[in-house]
Structure 1
Amino acid sequence: MSRLLGALHHADDQADAVRAQGVGLSRQELLGRAAAVAGGIAGRRMVAVEATPTLDTVVAITGALLAGVPVVPIPPDAGELERAHILRDSGAELIDAVPRAVSTDVPAEPDPVRPGLVLYTSGTTGAPKGVVISRAALAADLDALAAVWQWTPDDTLVHGLPLFHVHGLVLGVLGPLRVGSRLVHTGKPTPQAYAAAAGTLYFGVPTVWSRICAAPTEARALGRARLLVSGSAPLPVPVFEQLRELTGQAPVERYGMTETLITVSAHADGERRAGHVGRPVPGVETRLVDDTGTPLAPGPEIGHLQVRGATLFDGYLHHGRPERDGWFETGDVATIGADGWHRIVGRASTDLIKTGGYRVGAGEVEDALLLHPAVREAAVVGSPHPDLGEQITAYVVADGTTERELIDFVAAGLSVHKRPRVVHLVDGLPRNAMGKVQKAALR
């Protein structure tokens, strides 16, 4: 397909192409409304859209992409300071996300090297930065995922994710408009809404899948689907196993970030391993390096993950793209087996704990804690320690257990040096809109 949203231009199908909040639009209706938006903003440098989970947002963002005008999705729950920063930093003009006009004047396809989206990062190390993603990168990633997931026009994609991130917007909206599958956005990703949607392909973050597992009747209804995809944060092994038991199929896990889009995934027709995210998608290369930047051979050793390929962003708005010989440093640490399978340990800054001369991945300890029947949630960080350098510290949501019992439980299942030295029993863990635990807040 030469057009980024190629399937949108096959407007002869009158059935709903996109449905949200009980309202649907055919491809012809969506194209007509988006073309009207495109005509109204043609020539602007950049626009911003209030990214509510509605058809209006889909129309507005689609219109900007038709016009070749880079679009900045603004989280609808953004606080006043965050919203002001995004608009000031990007210089984007906020446009009305309630377009109602219709046009038959569809613009010519913009140059693929032009920016398509500017997505602002969560800002965990400072003010959010605008990640500039080209139209070519968007197309390359969606084509790669269509191949890996055997994603076709016969699919109906169901999800209820926010429309201002890679997961919900790029994969969840632009994917169907490129591939030609139908999209049902459930507004909120509840187990009941997912079960009622009767899709073939479902997207969710670990929090969504955990809640679905807690609703067995709804979970079993998803057994009719072709593929259940989990991303945006590591899927706990117990949730992976519960999903497999309840739906009859293991979920497909994938890995990516705003700056790289989705770079690693399990395949629809291949093996799915708990705690692993698969192999690089077509057009992407990965490698691990040690603390000095020296490439590591495949094996059990934890290293810093680097990627390169057609899906990478153009750079941060106003700052360019940091890289080393074409390799982008993700900031994540991982292992890559001899068979190419990746296991993401987590962020180097928070999830690689150096304790008493050992390098311990926080995710492994979290998975061990989650195997305890009383534990509902767990997050592990490294805390300063005068002798060990860092000690393993766990924050756990659980009923009817004690700190000592959980420490001993992990020590019995893993190497003793991987046990938490301290366990804090808490009422809940701080998470962002995509379900990722905000470990900086725990500290």
Structure 2
Amino acid sequence: MLTGLLAADPARFVEVAGRRLSHPALLAAASAVADDLEDHTRVAVLATPTLETVVAITGALLAGVEVVPVPPDSGAAELAHILADSAPDAWLGQTPDEVPGDAPLPRVRVNVGARADVVLDPVDDDAIAFVMYTSGTTGLPKGVLQSHRAVTAGLDALADAWAWTADDVLAHGLPLFHVHGLVLGVLGPLRLGGSLVHTGRGTPAAYADAARAGATMFFAVPTIWSRVADSPDDAAALRTARLLVSGSAALPVPVFDRLKELTGHEVVERYGMSETLITVATRADGVRRAGWVGVPVAGVEARLRGEDGHEVAHDGATVGRLEVRGATLFSGYLNRPEATAESWTDDGWFVTGDVAVIAPDGCIRIVGRESVDLIKSAGYRIGAGEIESILLGHPAVAEVAVVGEPDADLGQRIVAYVVARPSHAPADSAAAADLSEALSRFVGEELSLHKRPREFRFVANLPRNEMGKVQKKRLLG
């Protein structure tokens, strides 16, 4: 998996929040960790954005020891669940301030200054590399088992899609306990032999500094890209980059357009999840369209199925359930054989739970989660994401989330929760009614009339998780 790191090129490096290790130094420090893990099979890593986290995870992978990345902001109940479900035999590196349970796990310390000879024992490609916990939008988080083979396949496919090489310097400020920040954002450079600058925090100024220092690729979620778009001087520094990548949620069209104006780049989007890694991506040499996540990566197939089980038309408008299969998919849910079985179709496709449309050229646009983003109103199947994209193009709208609420007549009525820009925020009920009418008319001019929200609710903010995704179930109560 870490073939680029094993080349130990002294010109390549990993930097986290201003602290740097060359590839040879990182390899030697990780080898010292691997030596200390000889009697371990699965370890928990408190995935803070530090060099210690990178060294710990790299050492565990070299040793063939499974890693459970733990969000550093985990609440007591979440942490207790992750530890009880995954049953690691030690903490590797830092531990939380408060650890649940009467018998705390032993701790294996991580010293970024340690050095050891590199001795590699073969690791089975099908062995589990990570037990990565989902965000738990329905019930308790599930442990996703990701193999060395799947991670390797996913990174190689992205190297192909993005023309990603050892000459690239990747910069980002993403969390290190998710696919985006950890698998792509750390293991990508270590597999390809390139350098990494983790900015510590994902701020426009930090991204601009990384660009001025020579970063060529940037990863971010839409929240970060929106902030970059609102900071023209910082955005201008990214003109020297080769590729800007957005993921984890849909990038609003106005942000895409503003970034193109300020940076000269059209951001590429991609799609994936813990269970699949990245299965769809806009290619570096492909057409980039705001709101579209691209085509299946090498080794992956995708299809759309309707409620009747048949494939839906690839016309760019007909919504269907997205299913995928290929080399990047997970090995199952830890301790959840029933949930694992339910996630697959009888003919071997993984049911993502997302709904999408496919254009005639094969490009995919994600409409959203089937459970909350597919709205069935007056006999129509409507994607919330399409309406959200239109509303974000209105100058009064800063953020929006569209949901379907129960309605005795329609089945579901379309409701839009809107965060208005300060200069347009309605001061009273009359102003709110006027803005609602204007927004409804705006949607009706761009989309079919049946897609207009029946109600607009103006709020100060939208509930989001740590990756910036709106948590619509909280809006629905």
Task: Give the shorter-chain TM-score range.
Answer: over 0.9
1:421 maps to: 454
**Segment of structure 1 superposing worse, 79-88 or 406-415:** 406-415
Residue 384, structure 1, aligned to residue 409, structure 2: no
2:334 maps to: 317
Whether the aligned pair in 1 keeps the contact of 2:86 and 2:334 (CA below 8 Å) is yes
Whether the aligned pair in 2 keeps the contact of 1:16 and 1:24 (CA below 8 Å) is no
**3-state DSSP class of the match of 2:318?**
strand
What is the CA-CA distance between 1:326 and the residue it aligns to? Answer: 1.3
Whether the aligned pair in 2 keeps the contact of 1:38 and 1:107 (CA below 8 Å) is no
Residue 279, structure 1, aligned to residue 270, structure 2: no
Residue 173, structure 1, aligned to residue 195, structure 2: no
Residue 99, structure 1, aligned to residue 110, structure 2: yes
- Once the two structures are superposed, residues 42-90 of structure 1 have per-residue CA deviations (whole angstroms, 9 ceiling, x without a partner) of 2322111000001000000011101101100000001011011101100
1:19 maps to: 15
Residue 248, structure 1, aligned to residue 264, structure 2: yes
Whether the aligned pair in 1 keeps the contact of 2:12 and 2:193 (CA below 8 Å) is no
**Segment of structure 1 superposing worse, 106-115 or 83-92:** 106-115
**3-state DSSP class of the match of 2:197?**
strand
Q: List structure 1 segments (4+ residues) > 3 angstroms apart after TM superposition.
A: none
- Once the two structures are superposed, residues 140-183 of structure 1 have per-residue CA deviations (whole angstroms, 9 ceiling, x without a partner) of 00000001100001100000000000000000000000011100
Whether the aligned pair in 2 keeps the contact of 1:229 and 1:253 (CA below 8 Å) is yes
Whether the aligned pair in 2 keeps the contact of 1:352 and 1:361 (CA below 8 Å) is yes
**3-state DSSP class of the match of 1:183?**
strand
**3-state DSSP class of the match of 1:276?**
coil
Listed as ranges, the matches of 1:129-278 within 5 Å are 129-198=142-211, 199-278=215-294
**Segment of structure 1 superposing worse, 90-99 or 133-142:** 90-99
What is the CA-CA distance between 1:237 and the residue it aligns to? Answer: 1.0
Residue 7, structure 1, aligned to residue 4, structure 2: yes
**Segment of structure 1 superposing worse, 56-65 or 408-417:** 408-417
Q: 2:311 aligns with which of 279, 282, 295?
A: 295
| d(CA) in 1 for partners of 2:355, 2:184 | 24
2:395 maps to: 373
What is the CA-CA distance between 1:414 and the residue it aligns to? Answer: 1.7
- Once the two structures are superposed, residues 206-258 of structure 1 have per-residue CA deviations (whole angstroms, 9 ceiling, x without a partner) of 11100000001111111110000000001111111111111111000101111
**3-state DSSP class of the match of 1:301?**
coil
What is the CA-CA distance between 1:389 and the residue it aligns to? Answer: 0.4
What is the CA-CA distance between 1:36 and the residue it aligns to? Answer: 1.1
Residue 57, structure 1, aligned to residue 53, structure 2: yes
| d(CA) in 1 for partners of 2:418, 2:370 | 21
Aligned-pair RMSD on alpha carbons? Answer: 1.1
- Once the two structures are superposed, residues 315-351 of structure 1 have per-residue CA deviations (whole angstroms, 9 ceiling, x without a partner) of 0001243311110000000111221110110100011
| d(CA) in 2 for partners of 1:14, 1:5 | 16
**Which AA in structure 1 matches 2:93?**
D
What is the CA-CA distance between 1:16 and the residue it aligns to? Answer: 5.0
Over 3 Å counting, the alpha-carbon distance change for 1:200 and 1:105 in structure 2 is closer
| d(CA) in 2 for partners of 1:7, 1:109 | 16
TM-score by length of 1: 0.97
| d(CA) in 2 for partners of 1:44, 1:291 | 46
2:70 maps to: 74
What is the CA-CA distance between 1:296 and the residue it aligns to? Answer: 2.5
| d(CA) in 1 for partners of 2:452, 2:264 | 33
TM-score by length of 2: 0.90
| d(CA) in 2 for partners of 1:30, 1:159 | 19
Whether the aligned pair in 2 keeps the contact of 1:144 and 1:281 (CA below 8 Å) is yes
Whether the aligned pair in 2 keeps the contact of 1:43 and 1:69 (CA below 8 Å) is no
| d(CA) in 2 for partners of 1:86, 1:42 | 23
| Structure 1 stretches lacking a partner, 5+ long | none
Whether the aligned pair in 2 keeps the contact of 1:354 and 1:390 (CA below 8 Å) is yes
**Which AA in structure 2 matches 1:405?**
A
Whether the aligned pair in 1 keeps the contact of 2:92 and 2:110 (CA below 8 Å) is no
Residue 308, structure 1, aligned to residue 330, structure 2: no
2:138 maps to: 125
Whether the aligned pair in 2 keeps the contact of 1:5 and 1:174 (CA below 8 Å) is yes
Whether the aligned pair in 2 keeps the contact of 1:255 and 1:277 (CA below 8 Å) is yes
**3-state DSSP class of the match of 2:218?**
strand
Whether the aligned pair in 2 keeps the contact of 1:403 and 1:425 (CA below 8 Å) is no
Whether the aligned pair in 2 keeps the contact of 1:303 and 1:333 (CA below 8 Å) is yes
**Segment of structure 1 superposing worse, 82-91 or 396-405:** 396-405
**3-state DSSP class of the match of 1:167?**
helix
**Which AA in structure 1 matches 2:72?**
P
2:36 maps to: 40
**3-state DSSP class of the match of 1:339?**
coil
1:410 maps to: 443
Whether the aligned pair in 2 keeps the contact of 1:252 and 1:267 (CA below 8 Å) is yes
**3-state DSSP class of the match of 1:316?**
coil
**Which AA in structure 2 matches 1:369?**
L
1:86 maps to: 82
Whether the aligned pair in 1 keeps the contact of 2:27 and 2:118 (CA below 8 Å) is no
